[in-house]
Amino acid sequence: MKSKQATSQKPASDNGEPLPADRFINRELAWLEFNERVLDQAADSSLPLLERAKFLAISSSNLDEFMMVRVGSLQMQYQRNSMVRDAAGLTVGEQLLAVAHRCEVFTNRQYKILSDSLEPLLAEHDIHRIDLNDCTDRCRDTAERRFRNDVLAVISPQAIFEERPFPLLQGLGVHLCIRLKADKTSAYDPNASLWDFAVIPLGRTVPRVVLTPSDRGHSYVLLEDLIKHFIHEFFPGREIVECISFRITRNADIELQEDAASDLMIGMEEVLESRRQSRATRLEYSEDASDAMLAFLSEKMQLRGQDLYPISGPLDLSYLFTLHGLEGFDALRNDAWPPQRIPKIDPSENMFSSISRGDILLLHPYESFDPVVRLIEEAAIDPDVLAIKQVLYRTSRNSPIVSALKRAAKNGKYVSVIVELKARFDEARNIEWAREMEQSGVQVIYGIRGLKTHAKVCIIVRREPQGIVRYMHFGTGNYNEVTATIYGDVSLLTCNDELGSDASAFFNAVTGASQPQELRHLDSAPTTLRKRIIDLINAETQRCIEGQRAEIFAKINALVDTEVIDALYRASQAGVEIKLNVRGVCCLRPGVPGLSETIRVISIVDRFLEHARIIYFRHGEDSELFISSADWMPRNLDRRVEIMVPVDDASCREKVMNSLLTYFQDNCNSWEMQADGSYIRSQPGKNAIRAQEQLYERACQATEQIRQKRRTTFETHEPTDHR
């Protein structure tokens, strides 16, 4: 299905006038604005020091992915047609120039925060990055032993020869480039020196952070600095003129051409290999590199000036994640917020009993993801469970859910799993899981041709005295118990028969590659979800025109789709109150007179990654509330299999609605979007409200209330059901 973004017609406002041409913000610049908010956390002196270091690492990892995917995509577009314009009116060339400028400014700010603030403060707290040219003899001796024992025997240099292809270097890996004085002279000028070059890939075998002895605290040297200090050991008898660090980023926006792939798994393995060999999109290098060194590297990587990034510090700031995990520095990290157990789930009974008493809604990571894992693990061994059907988009390295699904198949249950092999950067892991599950007897389906299956749904079919009952989990996040402790998501556990009927029809349509049936309660992409969202927005618009109160509140990760944005603009022109909590990219301009005066857009950046999608429409006297796997982007609405689920249970509605409204009250970690695409951080004033902290405190209070109740209530042991 093609995206509906490209259109020659000018959308009209509610009064029939064309909407302004400059009503959209460029997607790439909007994403960089989001990463700027992440970097703001690294600069925030009110945060614990190691948390600031972690945010700096996150900003670095985010930028890496942006360079791999978004810049890679723009560069390919530029080769095809450089004059194509985006919704904001920028050509591909203009976007590349604007992105390069913003990334240069951003990178400079990253390293200024590191050098001027974080590293001096870390040193004050006895976390030192050592300079081997200026350290104690004991430290240098230890470093030399580590080099000879752990590095010299493992890592090897690779000489560069003009007559041979340049070696294939790993994207995002740190490398050293060495310039050596040649043993020969020029045939044209006997007095002119010639140069040889060599490359040393650091690889992943030797840890990047190398510990060194310290009288107190923690001292370390980075692997590249250790090798540089002893670089002569690799080239005995040669004169080393220069040694610098560099890193390349490769284009990862390489998708499978499914029409040409007879076997999806083999095709995905070919995609992974293609990414390994794809062209470079960025070269980072030590800023003290000579002109000769830079000319050599940029020529070999075939990169232009705007793709070259001189770095005034260690390349690849993800090593700061290692520092964040150091033992003995708890005072420099956030206090632990262990996920809470919710009162509705009794640990002494099985999950089916808990869910059968009523729908259960979990707010992660404030509330534990364990009930979701428990549900699948119990289903794997429950003699009354007949089938398990599940979509796996991303999961953890040692997934208990995958283990439970394999166990269920071995126990004779009908297990059908959609494994999305095209989940970017998780392809290799998903291929591995798919093979393991197939070997265990699981029916594995590799998604749908031309689409990514991104819905989060699990259906468990159980035989009970009253007949067949379907127990379901619908979520906004992945089936990953690790990220469920750091991502803000929503889970709905239910055995609602109407939702079960829709869920089964949805799943069977996906696995059977058949015409999707019309669903009564669920909406799915790419069939009905786009139309449903726009219809709901238009309904609020019409109510407002008729003089009724109309509201739209939404929490999503990205707002890019121009049709949805235009519908929101028309709703605002009619007077609908619109509050949007958009974590990342937002291409809508809020607060523009005559266009979006009633629209407010905020973004929350705090200790947990905001990931939940929650959508509310006032809908007259009968409000509608949904959770969804989809953001409001063309890829989600047109090119992915997604699902939107109504939340109808009264207690669940109240819980999720309270969480949604709490975000709009945040004045500690909330940024408010301006009409020009910039953001202004909210100021707490006298009444500080931090949404994530409030949500966690509520979860703790609910847990404590049930604990106190059980202390004052006598509970008898009931006979065990031995059916």
CATH number of 199's domain: 3.30.1840.10
**Residue 501 pLDDT > 50:** yes
Q: What is the mean pLDDT of residues 367-390?
A: 97
Domain boundary pick from 477, 503, 519: 519
In this structure, is residue 174 part of a structural domain? yes
496 & 554 share domain: no
Which pLDDT belongs to residue 722?
45
pLDDT at 689 over 50: yes
Q: Looking at mean pLDDT, say which of 391-395, 619-623, 665-669 comes out highest.
A: 665-669
285 has a pLDDT exceeding 90:
yes
* Per-residue pLDDT, 716: 60
pLDDT of amino acid 232:
94
Can you tell me the distance from the alpha carbon of 573 to that of 571, in angstroms, rounded to the nearest whole number?
A: 5
pLDDT at 305 over 70: yes
Question: What's the mean pLDDT when you consider all of the chain?
Answer: 89
pLDDT value at residue 56: 98
The answer to whether the bond into 347 is cis (omega within 30° of 0) is no
Q: What is the pLDDT of residue 13?
A: 64
Percent of the chain with pLDDT over 90: 68
**Residue-wise pLDDT tens digits, 232-258:** 999 998 899 999 999 999 887 655 444
Chain-centroid distance, C-alpha 490: 16
Average pLDDT over residues 127-153: 90
Q: How far apart are CA 447 and CA 427, in angstroms?
A: 13
- The answer to whether residue 693 sits within a structural domain is yes
How far apart are alpha carbons 559 and 543 in whole angstroms? 24
Let me know whether 383 and 289 are in one domain: no
At 391 the pLDDT is: 93
Nearest one of 627, 559, 667, 687 to 34, comparing CA atoms: 559
SS3 85: strand
What's 196-243 look like in SS3?
EEEEEECCCCCCCEEEECCCCCEEEEEHHHHHHHCHHHHCCCCCEEEE
**What does the pLDDT read at residue 515?**
64
Looking at the structure, tell me whether residues 493 and 384 fall in a common domain.
Answer: yes
Check whether residue 505 and residue 631 sit in a common domain.
no
Task: Please tell me the predicted confidence (pLDDT) of residue 184.
Answer: 61
Whether residue 110 is predicted with pLDDT greater than 90 in this model: the reply is yes
Lowest mean pLDDT: which of 4-18, 118-132, 618-632?
Answer: 4-18
Q: What is the pLDDT of residue 10?
A: 59
Q: Can you give the residue range of the structural domain that contains 59?
A: 27-332
Sorting pLDDT into bands at 50, 70 and 90, what band is 43?
A: very high
Is it the case that residue 691 has pLDDT exceeding 60? Answer: yes
Write out pLDDT tens, residues 433-443: 778 889 999 99
Within a domain: residue 8? no
Model confidence over 383-432: pLDDT tens digits? 999 999 999 888 888 899 999 999 999 999 999 998 876 655 556 666 77
Q: What is the pLDDT of residue 259?
A: 43
pLDDT digits (tens, 9 = 90+) for 14-25: 666 788 889 999
At residue 721, does pLDDT exceed 90? no
Residues 6+ positions from 254 with CB-CB distance below 8 Å: 271, 274, 275, 278
Domain count, the chain: 3
**pLDDT at position 173, please?**
93
User: For the residues 291-302, what does the mean pLDDT come to?
Assistant: 91
Q: Beta strands 193-201 and 624-628: pairing type?
A: unpaired
The mean pLDDT value for 29-53 works out to 97
Tell me, yes or no, whether 22 lies in a domain. Answer: no
Are 542 and 501 part of one and the same domain?
no
Question: Where does a domain end: 519, 550, 582?
Answer: 519
Same domain, 556 and 694: yes
Q: Which of 374-383, 418-427, 545-554, 661-670 has the lowest mean pLDDT?
A: 418-427
The reply to whether 257 falls in a domain is yes
Cβ–Cβ < 8 Å for 244, 184: no
Closest by CA position to 39, among listed 18, 62, 23: 62
Q: Quick check: is 252 in a domain?
A: yes
pLDDT at 265 over 80: no
Q: Do 97 and 123 fall within a single domain?
A: yes
Task: Indicate whether 4 belongs to any domain.
Answer: no
Same domain, 507 and 567: no
pLDDT at 598 over 70: yes
| β-pair partners for 385 | 462
- Weakest-pLDDT range from 64-78, 511-525, 658-672: 511-525
- In this structure, the answer to whether residues 454 and 554 fall within a common structural domain is no
pLDDT for 210 beyond 80: yes
Q: 107: which 2 tokens?
A: 């990178």
Q: What phi, psi does 554 have (nearest 5°)?
A: -145, 145
Do 129 and 232 fall into the same domain? yes
Q: Which residues are catalytic?
A: 454
Give me the mean pLDDT over the 451-462 stretch: 93
Q: What is the DSSP letter of 719?
A: P
pLDDT at 272 over 70: no
Residue 461: predicted pLDDT: 98
For the chain, count helices (H), then strands (E): 20, 27
Domain end, chosen from 501, 519, 537, is at 519
User: In the predicted model, is pLDDT for residue 271 greater than 90?
Assistant: no
The pLDDT assigned to 2 comes to 36
What is the domain-level CATH number for residue 594? 3.30.870.10
- Alpha helices of 630-715 — where are they, by DSSP H? 634-638, 650-665, 691-711
User: Does some domain include residue 3?
Assistant: no
What pLDDT sits at residue 320?
97
* 281 and 313 belong to one structural domain: yes
Pair 496, 529 in one domain: no
- Looking at residues 53-82, what average pLDDT do you find? 91
Smallest Cα–Cα separation from 253: which of 99, 507, 401, 70? 70
Q: How confident is the model at residue 449 (pLDDT cuts 50, 70, 90)?
A: confident
> Is the pLDDT assigned to residue 72 strictly greater than 90?
no
